[in-house]
Structure 1
Amino acid sequence: MLENIKWFGHDSFKITGEKVIYTDPFQIKKPDKADIILVTHEHYDHFSPDDIKKLLAPHTVIALPKDCSGKIKAKEVIVKPGDKINIEGVEIEVVPSYNLNKKFHPKEKGWVGYIFKVMGKRIYIAGDTDYIPEMKSFKDIDIALLPVSGTYVMTAEEAVQAALDINPKIAIPMHYGSIVGSEKDAQYFAEKLKGKIDVIILQPER
């Protein structure tokens, strides 16, 4: 499954299975047409209309929070935390994503993360979030994509605690090395989880 996950830096991934799924596409150099695009929130480095347009095909469906809606001519599904949806046969749970003690991602905005199934594997992409209480309720996660940079999101140390709560089979650090954070954050995350959870540090696609 890991060979089907490509990271473009930040929170931007392409995950290929029964469908081609992109998350928060940003600075995409070699676009493929997407079946599904999952947008977590409206900040420019997560909701990039220019990048999304590169990926659009007539059938592409974009899941996105309400405040991102109507800005791109495409098929949309407006989502909020707690929703359970099915797009093109892909089961998707919409989960909260917010800051506890920072002002950048207020809970009342209703911004999101996603849990979705690809080739029988449940994948969680957290979005820009702190280590939040809801994470303890996320069950049977095979692969967790977790921010580790601090500043706008949880720190690497907090991400370790989040990973232990979620208990995925594999954790992949993200949200470092471009705007904030460095590879040292990813390495710290991997070291602290050694022997507990398998951590894979991906190299960004260029």
Structure 2
Amino acid sequence: MPFLHLGKIFDMRSIATLMILSILFIGCKNEKKTNENQAENKVAEKTIAKNEQSDSLKIEITPISHATAVFKWDNTVFYTDPVGGADAFKGKATPDFVLITDIHGDHMNAETLDALELENAKIFVPKAVQEKLPEDLQGNLVVLNNGETNEYMGFKIKAIPMYNLPQSKDAMHVKGRGNGYILEKNGEKLYISGDTEDIPEMRNLKDIDVALVSMNLPYTMPVDKAADGVLAFKPKKVIPYHYRGKDGLADVEKFKELVNKGNQNIKVELMDWYPGRKK
């Protein structure tokens, strides 16, 4: 009997030991799972924070007319294709730099450049534009041709092609003459298309936050081609501009409808580039 009683004691101790080990094992497993969940949550939080940061790109864009605009990004002001004389920019901040896309009169105007306060501003231009501007502006010019990049005031400025399709020597916009531009700062990108169609160089763009895309027949591309090009490179936001054609204004509402139908994640913002004009 005493030996039997002692055996029972050992059995009870063994059971107790097993129970304690089981509890410790389960506790460790739960702690591991908790740590894994916490790690996953941290990764998710970082991803969300990154997306929120990307979506927070705030560029103030003030349309002047057609292809001409004033941009403010952080504390830097720049103009695109300034034409229309100094009065068109009355009340606007003096630019830190200027981007000119092409030689045509709706993009390049020497009289307007002379009238603006550009003494301390750099003017980024393709070679074809540089050759047509007067001597008194040459000191301000920075020539960028397709594929070239310059860094200025914290911005990476890259010139990319803009041209008509199909390519031909007598096209209104031949490849290599004019520039589209990509501006990048802190990993965020602005694309300004210039006078172009849905060329491969546009369709293959990556990680564009804001895009300005032209659409006006017979000079650039129709609305449906513009929408198709935008759906190919998927910017976070697209703004139609330069949409006055030979027969009036392009249907930017249709452009918005086509883009939204193809990808609801692309925000389409319509701005008034032709004040007082309806068609």
Tell me the TM-score normalized by structure 2.
0.67
**Which residue of the other structure, out of 235, 252, 263, is the alignment partner of 1:186?**
252
In the other structure, the counterpart of 1:176 is 243
Q: For residues 124-203 of structure 1, what are the structure 2 equivalents within 5 Å?
A: 124-177=191-244, 181-182=248-249, 184-194=250-260, 195-203=264-272
Contact 1:8 / 1:26 at 8 angstroms: preserved in 2?
no
Contact 2:82 / 2:108 at 8 angstroms: preserved in 1?
yes
Contact 1:91 / 1:117 at 8 angstroms: preserved in 2?
yes
Deviation at 1:205, TM superposition (A): 7.8
Letter in 1 for 2:174: P
Question: Which structure is higher in RCO with an 8 Å CA cutoff and minimum separation 6?
Answer: 1
The CA deviation string for residues 3-46 of structure 1, in whole angstroms up to 9 with x for no partner, is 61111121111111231111111222425321110001100110
Identity %: 31
Deviation at 1:126, TM superposition (A): 0.3
Deviation at 1:161, TM superposition (A): 0.9
Q: For residues 11-160 of structure 1, what are the structure 2 equivalents within 5 Å?
A: 11-17=67-73, 18-27=75-84, 28-30=88-90, 31-69=92-130, 71-72=133-134, 73-74=136-137, 75-101=140-166, 103-107=171-175, 109-117=176-184, 121-160=188-227
Tell me the TM-score normalized by structure 1.
0.89
* Alignment partners' CA distance in 2, 1:79 and 1:175: 22
- What secondary structure, in the 3-state scheme, does the structure 1 residue paired with 2:232 have? helix
Q: How many residues align?
A: 204
* Alignment partners' CA distance in 2, 1:155 and 1:83: 28
Letter in 2 for 1:20: V
CA RMSD of aligned residues (A): 2.2
Contact 2:236 / 2:265 at 8 angstroms: preserved in 1?
no
* Alignment partners' CA distance in 2, 1:144 and 1:180: 25
Q: Residues 69 and 3 (structure 1 numbering): CA distance in 2 closer, same or farther, change over 3 Å? A: closer
Q: Structure 1: where are the runs of 5+ without partners?
A: none
Answer with 1 or 2: which has the greater Rg.
2
Please identify which structure carries the higher strand content.
1
Contact 2:223 / 2:255 at 8 angstroms: preserved in 1?
yes
Contact 1:135 / 1:166 at 8 angstroms: preserved in 2?
yes
Give every structure 1 segment of 4 or more consecutive aligned residues whose post-TM-superposition deviation is greater than 6 Å.
none
Contact 1:25 / 1:51 at 8 angstroms: preserved in 2?
yes
* Alignment partners' CA distance in 1, 2:236 and 2:210: 6
